[in-house]
Amino acid sequence: MLGRRPGRRRHPGGPEVLTQPPDSGSAPAGAGADEGGAGRGAAFFDLDRTLMAGSSAFEFARASYRQGILTRRQLAAGAWANVKFRLQGSTDAGTDAVRAQIFDLMRDVPVRDVMRLGPEVLAGILPRVYPQMLRVAYEHQDAGRPVYIVTAAAHELAEVLAQVLTFDGGLGARSEIADGRYTGRPDGPFTYREGKAEAIRALAAREGIDLAASWAYSDSESDLPMLRVVGHPVAVNPDAELGRVAREEGWQVLRFERLGRRLALAGTAVAAVAIGGAGSLMVGRRRGAPPAPPPSRVRWLR
């Protein structure tokens, strides 16, 4: 890809991609560009609204309800938080509150019970994974870079999802375990904001990864520490603040056209259900609901 003019390329069976290489002449993110003798790099992907549409936490909450770990009231609160997250993105205060609530809910829950949620949680997440982002991740792997999920979700979820997607690993929030049960306390830094950058630096030190030759992908301003810890930050469907920073610092931007409109429409529908008190819809399994169609076009921007 080095030295090619900006233009269109088409993946087999995929949407047309419009690429705009940066001024340095290197290929777009994930295109397999040679790092020119630099150390081994890696690629780090935020999960919610970057690798997948919506919030993985909601899928975990819904599965937890069905197994009796969460109450209906707690599930409804999770549904509303998911709507706000999809439409507005995360906030520090909101994330701290969710973190405290989740750790408290998990107190004294057997680890085995949570691990058994895996198949149902994955059944909700996998249809929401963006095929465009999978192609980017696999291009990194084909170029010799390991790829990792980095998320504020549970470390167990990050690892299981990484294995299913054939990624090289996952970094998530760890909970303290004693005698096979969660204690309700964290076990290490929370993988949010600076915590993500801290987890990436620790992994890089263990695995001999050159962060200057690495890539990171996120949609949110909250992930600026993660994006700035690598040499190649990429904003994916960025929120307003991340979009501003990306423009000012000349970062690459990956947008899925019409995504915001689809999320807004979907979020409005879910909000109507939640406000209307149709709890049975949230509890019952949605049968025959097709996965969200992938956007028809992707644009690389500077």
Residues designated catalytic: 46, 48
Give me the residues paired with residue 52 across strands: 48, 129
What CA–CA distance (Å, rounded) separates 232 from 251?
8
CA-based nearest residue to 69, from 122, 124, 115, 119: 115
Question: What token pair was written down for 199?
Answer: 């987890």
Q: Is 7 exposed, middle or buried (0-12, 13-18, 19+ CB in 10 A)?
A: exposed
What CA–CA distance (Å, rounded) separates 174 from 184?
11
What CA–CA distance (Å, rounded) separates 295 from 126?
16
At CA 150, angle to CA 119 and CA 198, rounded to 5?
A: 140
Number of Cβ within a 10 Å radius of residue 48:
25
Given strand 169-173, what is the order of strands in its sheet? 7-10, 16-19, 297-301, 252-256, 232-236, 215-218, 43-46, 147-154, 169-173
What CA–CA distance (Å, rounded) separates 263 from 66?
26
